[in-house]
């Protein structure tokens, strides 16, 4: 087993919809598109949200035009806001909490997303030179997630993300430096529909790259940094993403793949992929 494979994310960083008050179905807006069948403004419950905060069409979201819902990942922020920040008081039973709860949710989601990346970086032996700083960042982020609703809404998230991202980039560079050969740098590149079938992208920097609809069949993406890369509709059939870093379940679920696609052990093969 490779030393750079991250472990499964802690349970607190994985969504537990049974302990959430359907916050992603209410707090966030979505626009009618290929990902969503209808328009919905922020703060308005989705028409498919039931009284028990469960989705009435969960089993058929893709078929009903709500593919965007199937790829959303709150990184456990939903249950944290519902059960910790607001102590189990739901916005229906306590409507006076609704506005603040919906404002806190996207902030908490960003904190949990950063926690997920920092946790992964701490599991990478090659990133050991920055583990001390990463542990301090982990502690600081964890403390913020336990702040009051008022403090969370006032938090300077962009500044926090910038500081943590600098650490994650250093961790990425240390990990990718262990991979032999010259590494491609496509950070933030517009690679929509790009043809990378069979390409060697091992250890590549693909941070924030737009890979929507890209042909990555049988591509070698081992050790590539995919943080923030947009993989919607990307063809990953036969691709090798073993040891790729900062790849999330949502990114994988948004792409296309098959039984030959190799994923980091922490991620699941999406049910809609051809096996």
On the question of pLDDT at 6 being above 90, the answer is no
The predicted-structure confidence for 116-140, as pLDDT tens digits, reads as follows 999 999 999 999 999 999 999 999 9
Phi, psi of 217 (to 5 degrees): -60, 130
Res 34: pLDDT: 86
On the question of pLDDT at 8 being above 70, the answer is no
**Rounded distance, CA 27 to CA 46, Å?**
10
What separation, in Å, do the N-terminal and C-terminal C-alpha atoms of the chain show? 24
Percent of the chain with pLDDT over 70: 96
On the question of pLDDT at 267 being above 60, the answer is yes
Average pLDDT over residues 6-26: 87
Res 35: pLDDT: 87
Average pLDDT over residues 7-21: 86
CA distances from 41 to 34, 36, 66, 70, 275 (A): 17, 12, 15, 19, 37
On the question of pLDDT at 178 being above 50, the answer is yes
The predicted-structure confidence for 218-253, as pLDDT tens digits, reads as follows 999 999 999 999 999 999 999 999 999 999 999 999
Percent of the chain with pLDDT over 90: 90
Where does 182-275 sit in CATH, by number? Answer: 2.160.20.80
On the question of pLDDT at 1 being above 60, the answer is no
On the question of pLDDT at 114 being above 50, the answer is yes
Mean per-residue pLDDT of the chain = 94
CA distances from 177 to 89, 199, 227, 247 (A): 48, 19, 17, 18
On the question of pLDDT at 2 being above 80, the answer is no
pLDDT confidence band for 272 (50 / 70 / 90):
confident
Res 257: pLDDT: 97
Average pLDDT over residues 154-182: 97
Burial class (CB in 10 A: 0-12, 13-18, 19+), 195: exposed
Res 10: pLDDT: 83
Within 10 angstroms of residue 65's Cβ, the number of other Cβ atoms is 17
Average pLDDT over residues 248-274: 93
pTM over 0.85: yes
Which residues belong to CATH 2.160.20.80 in the chain?
Answer: 182-275
Contact indicator for 141, 164 with CB cutoff of 8 Å: yes
pLDDT confidence band for 7 (50 / 70 / 90):
low
Res 3: pLDDT: 47
The predicted-structure confidence for 69-110, as pLDDT tens digits, reads as follows 989 999 999 999 999 999 999 999 999 999 999 999 999 999
């Amino acid at each position: 087993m490779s030393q750079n494979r991250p472990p499964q994310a802690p349970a607190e960083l994985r969504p537990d919809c049974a302990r959430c008050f359907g916050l992603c179905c209410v707090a966030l807006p979505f626009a009618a598109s290929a990902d969503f069948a209808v328009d919905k403004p922020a703060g308005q419950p989705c028409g498919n949200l039931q009284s028990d905060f469960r989705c009435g069409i969960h089993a058929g979201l893709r078929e009903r035009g709500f593919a965007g819902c199937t790829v959303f990942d709150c990184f456990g922020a939903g249950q944290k806001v519902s059960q910790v920040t607001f102590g189990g008081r739901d916005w229906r039973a306590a409507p006076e909490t609704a506005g603040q709860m919906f404002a806190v949710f996207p902030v908490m989601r960003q904190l949990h997303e950063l926690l997920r990346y920092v946790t992964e970086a701490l599991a990478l032996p090659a990133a050991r030179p920055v583990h001390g700083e990463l542990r301090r960042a982990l502690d600081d982020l964890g403390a913020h997630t336990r702040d009051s609703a008022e403090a969370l809404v006032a938090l300077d998230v962009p500044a926090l993300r910038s500081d943590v991202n600098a650490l994650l980039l250093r961790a990425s560079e240390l990990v990718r430096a262990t991979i032999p050969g010259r590494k491609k740098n496509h950070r933030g590149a517009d690679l929509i529909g790009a043809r990378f079938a069979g390409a060697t992208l091992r250890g590549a920097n693909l941070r924030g790259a737009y890979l929507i609809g890209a042909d990555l069949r049988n591509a070698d993406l081992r050790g590539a940094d995919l943080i923030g890369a947009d993989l919607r509709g990307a063809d990953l059939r036969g691709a090798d993403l073993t040891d790729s870093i900062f790849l999330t379940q949502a990114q994988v679920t948004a792409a296309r793949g098959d039984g030959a696609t190799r994923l980091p052990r922490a991620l699941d093969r999406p049910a809609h992929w051809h096996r």
